[in-house]
Amino acid sequence: IGNVGQGGQAFVRGIEQQGNIRINWVEEGKPVACIAHYKQTADQQKITQTIILNGISCQIQ
């Protein structure tokens, strides 16, 4: 569960140390999705329980 912002930033909770996340949005009234691979680092920035993933790149399905 989370939000994705500009510049490849994702704000997420409850994820594993590494894996894939599916990002969904609506564009021109149609649902669009992509998959992004991530891997948390030891110095990953956190805001309470929210993890900030930087440099996320999605591949549209």
For 13-24, what is each residue's pLDDT tens digit? 888 889 999 999
pLDDT at 5: 82
Q: Six-digit token pair at 40? A: 């948390």
Kindly tell me if the per-residue pLDDT of 44 is higher than 80: no
Q: What is the pTM of this model?
A: 0.71
Q: b/e for 26-49, b at 16 or more Cβ within 10 A?
A: eeeeeeeebebebeeeeeeeeeee
